[in-house]
Amino acid sequence: MKIRDLNRRDTLKLAAGLGALASASALGGAALAQEQELVIVATGGAFEKSLRDHFYDPFTKATGIKIRPVAASNAETWTKLRAMQQTGRVEWDIVTAYPEDLIAQAALLEPIGCAKLANLASQGVPGACDELGLLRTQGGVNIVYDKSKFPNGGPKTWAEFWDTKAFPGPRSFPNAGAPWWPLMAALQADGVPADKLFPLDLDRAFKKLDQIRDSVAVWWRTGDQSQQMFRSGEVSLGMIWSGRAFALKDGGMPIEVVWDGAAPNTALWSIAKGSKNVEASKKFLDFWLTRPEAHVPFANEVSFDTSNRLALEGLSAEARSRRVTAPENAAKIAKMDAKWVADNRAMLIERWNRWLAR
């Protein structure tokens, strides 16, 4: 099974893939790495802090290799990395990718060499490593609503989300470089089953989006923005990442997260082609696979599953119920065709931008 081919059935397999703990391989070469630095591209804010606390700083302590985090959206990542490679000055080492990126952006990525990751077999979930990406986190892109605005209950399906009379209020959708997420929601709202969405019927999807466009107050670009719009009351309901939604809930907001029809949100670590620190990058990826005692608090803080297969065992029942790999949630996730998205990515983004600019 390859990460780029993940679907709901594969997600259930990941949930079931718990095994016995094997001792982590020691990371050597710390003395040789005192002056080395890895630049890792991910999202910022609380997510970056959690990565630093549980992975970046411990990796530096174990190896002497420093980590400098950079925050960038998916679209910014590939635009800037392509420009770096064209000038021959690649300043990044590890980037965040999605399954479709392993196909569409393959020329920008360095092979990982999964067989050489010493901790993969002993501590990784099944199928965690593709030659161009190592599973980082799994979640969803879900219907989220403020229960204080809907005391009798909010929308439980995308069809209800589109019903502005039954569920009035300003809405939000992502505009973060993955237009297929709102397009998938629109097709489900129009009656397409969650496992029959691809190939996307774009005319039908955009026609459905036309119906709700006037009720969309925010087209968010970052995870922090998707949270702030709820805190400020700018929106009452929206489509946002499950991890960001649960962080709002943990912060005291009366947020409800709906799994029915959520788009899968699988993120990976990939190595930038042209990196000057390929071997150090592979060391970090191997380190990432270890230490369930770090993955558990990280997973609890960001409400995403990770690629350490024992981390699931350390979760409470309540925390487990928040995860995309919980069987009751995985069964509700929409199916995505990463290859179709990769093959049509440029056209999708161009048409999306034209529609937004109207």
Give the confidence band of 318 by pLDDT, cuts at 50, 70, 90.
Answer: confident
Residue 251 has pLDDT above 60, yes or no: yes
Average confidence (pLDDT) over 294-301: 92
- Burial of residue 182, with CB atoms counted within 10 A of its CB: 0-12 exposed, 13-18 middle, 19 or more buried: buried
Domains located in the chain, CATH noted: 3-136+266-326 (3.40.190.10), 139-265+334-357 (3.40.190.10)
**What local confidence, expressed as pLDDT, does residue 171 receive?**
98
Average confidence (pLDDT) over 109-126: 95
Q: How many helices (H) and strands (E) does the chain have?
A: 16, 11
Residues forming beta bridges with residue 135, ordered by sequence position: 268
At 335, which amino acid appears?
K
**Strands 305-306 and 133-146, sheet pairing:** antiparallel
**What local confidence, expressed as pLDDT, does residue 83 receive?**
97
Query: Could you give the C-alpha distances from 312 to 3, 35, 208, 322, in angstroms and in order?
Result: 19, 35, 38, 12
3-state secondary structure of 314: helix
Q: Any idea how long the chain is?
A: 358
3-state secondary structure of 338: helix
Residue 227 has pLDDT above 50, yes or no: yes
**What local confidence, expressed as pLDDT, does residue 317 receive?**
87
Residues forming beta bridges with residue 129, ordered by sequence position: 134
Residue 140 has pLDDT above 80, yes or no: yes
**What local confidence, expressed as pLDDT, does residue 7 receive?**
52
Greater confidence (358 vs 120) lies with: 120
- Among residues 153, 170, 119, the alpha carbon closest in space to that of 286 is found at 119
**What local confidence, expressed as pLDDT, does residue 35 receive?**
67
Task: List for the chain the helix, strand, coil content (%; round to 5).
Answer: 45, 20, 35
Determine contact, residues 135/125, Cβ cutoff 8 Å. yes
Average confidence (pLDDT) over 276-304: 95
